[in-house]
Structure 1
């Protein structure tokens, strides 16, 4: 058995032998992917959008006491731009960046800015552009929202197990929704083929050879959330651990990169978390190189049901992650219910299926002596979770928790 792998029930932990030492500085090669400079540009654009507001950072002292940890903070993305997830920061920002590049190229002008996207004289030109992507739900919703706001056309590809609730949320922004047989990666391939056939512009959060610029923009948008959390912590000591869920790895890479560059040697240990049924990053860490996993990727954590690693994300996560973890679906469902109940004096929280993988892993690790020791978890630990979505499928959320989001927030039916 691999001595770097620890198990507790169906939870698995792999201590990353490729992780850089804490004192290793953020490299220039990484800044070519994600950087403070790119973050500043993204923040300026996103802050100008109607409805912009910081999401809340919640302290969870009850959960911290239960787990024997010094502090737990929870970044709640359930209200981001009314879309219900952090994805609002990435896809929509990438749509804006793509449209500005295309507008500049078609007009031959190098002096255009994001403000020019709303000028009447460019309306017809923008309306003739079609963006597309594959999605498990939240990314496609963000791309559709960004396209709707900018005035361009949009086609979103979903696989056969994406819920009708998430499909309707995407279509509400005027996007054409195409359902594809197979899993998420099949939808990715169909989107790429149709884009080549019909002249669409792919706005994907997955990077692959020859396709890097747009996924970089998506990830850079996510860094706005990370800096918000740091600002909200204020004078409190920096977190020592971050358990962050991953699909293709874009969110995890954005979190790892921003904390690494910003905090330097004081950066927290990054633990990347996936569903046990969709473990492309975990398997890649074991292999020491990007590995694709097949099958149906059938997990309730729909936003994490990805079988192929984003190459840009991998370039950051391989050296930047302290460990990789896998959690089963039932652990995520139990955490959703616990957060909704507001146990231990903590506030009741609405968290979707994909939002809680990090929390489930953190709880499992803290409660297992061997895992806690391996990760350095204890009374002095300060853990930060990024809860990436709320009830993005309201009916499914009600089925899992037994209550609607409104009932949870009001304390009804507890």
Structure 2
């Protein structure tokens, strides 16, 4: 029997503003909608290399958690990037470039293929996209810039690992290291873009910057719809545990499930590190506020101190619970997946990508939290494994084996 995460004590806040009777109305659809999702799905589904990522049943960890079913949406092989972020940043780059080309060449419809083959290279090569990132989003924007034919400048906080910086630079983008945290990188990217006439392609939104983050979040809906279609026909999840960050991912998951299933949607639990808990703190305050933590967490992709305003507009009424966990929970969950404790072949999962699953396992190991979340023996839980071993050196340091060694053990 796998060892439960009883030493990983979570912190839970059940959202008093959650309104499960509230219909998904015009104000929500102005941010995320199935109509806009269909456009994203049609576009991304036509990209070379597109294929739905697998939905894995983790029977061993379901037993450990004392629940009936546990499904894991495994994004470790999404396109060439090993992360769900490929669905957001690159899609937003495409949308931006198509708009800019159309503005300069009126009356001509612009397709992704037009941009890939360089039909409007004279226009796109003069354009630059910029963003801030802890790793995966910047890699997606850099990839999108390379594929669709523009320049990219990616800002990373000082704590961003060398491996993640190199992965971004490999797609031809300029990497700028900011002496500060992720939120400092966001501000620096916005300031430099304004000064140089660049376009910011961010997954967070703030006053005066709302349109492009909608495209980023809408792209994430592809992952959610895939998961819905892959579930057994007679079964729906009772709960979804999803990692937080600035809120773009949980808002995309929440909005898609809310509009699709209404009041029958699963209970949504947003999971963050103890030290980077801007969504948890915002839920407690009833408005967007900064994290009180120092943002020092092994879950580097979630080391965000400020909430995306668009995301909060969805989560304020749509998220049921906010949960924070210690780093140990993510570390031990990565090792459980690498060791095959879920009941199958090893799964490569990065430290930020396991946060939702780690949140479930931490919660299930504490009876008071389990009861508060309604994690009964018949519960069925969906989690999103949003990244693989995107930095092999970091992964090896945490798990104790390289990604290649983990997968080689599966074949031995």
TM-score by length of 2: 0.96
Q: Any idea what SS the aligned residue of 2:120 has?
A: helix
Runs of 5+ unmatched residues, structure 1: 1-6
Q: Partner residue of 1:178?
A: 176
Map 1:11-410 to 2 at 5 A.
Answer: 11-21=10-20, 23-109=21-107, 111-118=109-116, 120-293=118-291, 296-343=294-341, 345-410=343-408
Runs of 5+ unmatched residues, structure 2: 1-5
Q: How far, CA to CA, are the matches of 2:184 and 2:269 in structure 1? A: 28
Structure 1 contact 281–309 (Cα < 8 Å) conserved: yes
Q: Any idea what SS the aligned residue of 1:378 has?
A: coil
Structure 2 contact 130–201 (Cα < 8 Å) conserved: yes
Deviations 1:281-308 (A, max 9, x none): 0000000000013664111101000001
For structure 1, which segment, 136-145 or 234-243, has the greater mean C-alpha deviation from structure 2 after superposition?
A: 234-243
Measured at CA, do residues 122 and 280 of structure 1 come closer, stay the same or move farther in structure 2, by a change above 3 Å?
Answer: same
Q: How far, CA to CA, are the matches of 1:123 and 1:289 in structure 2? A: 44
Q: How far, CA to CA, are the matches of 1:299 and 1:180 in structure 2? A: 18
Q: How far, CA to CA, are the matches of 1:231 and 1:119 in structure 2? A: 33
Q: How far, CA to CA, are the matches of 2:102 and 2:259 in structure 1? A: 31
Q: How far, CA to CA, are the matches of 2:238 and 2:122 in structure 1? A: 50
Which aligned segments of 4 or more residues in structure 1 are displaced greater than 6 angstroms? none
Q: How far, CA to CA, are the matches of 1:344 and 1:112 in structure 2? A: 45
Instruction: Report the CA distance between 1:411 and its aligned residue.
Output: 2.2
Q: How far, CA to CA, are the matches of 1:410 and 1:234 in structure 2? A: 30
Q: How far, CA to CA, are the matches of 1:114 and 1:296 in structure 2? A: 41
RMSD of the alignment, in Å?
1.7
Instruction: Report the CA distance between 1:343 and its aligned residue.
Output: 1.4
- Number of equivalenced pairs: 407
Deviations 1:63-118 (A, max 9, x none): 11122101000000010002010000000000000001111112233643444324
Q: How far, CA to CA, are the matches of 2:130 and 2:233 in structure 1? A: 42
Structure 2 contact 8–362 (Cα < 8 Å) conserved: no
TM-score by length of 1: 0.95
Structure 2 contact 277–292 (Cα < 8 Å) conserved: no
Structure 1 contact 241–270 (Cα < 8 Å) conserved: yes
Q: Partner residue of 1:3?
A: none
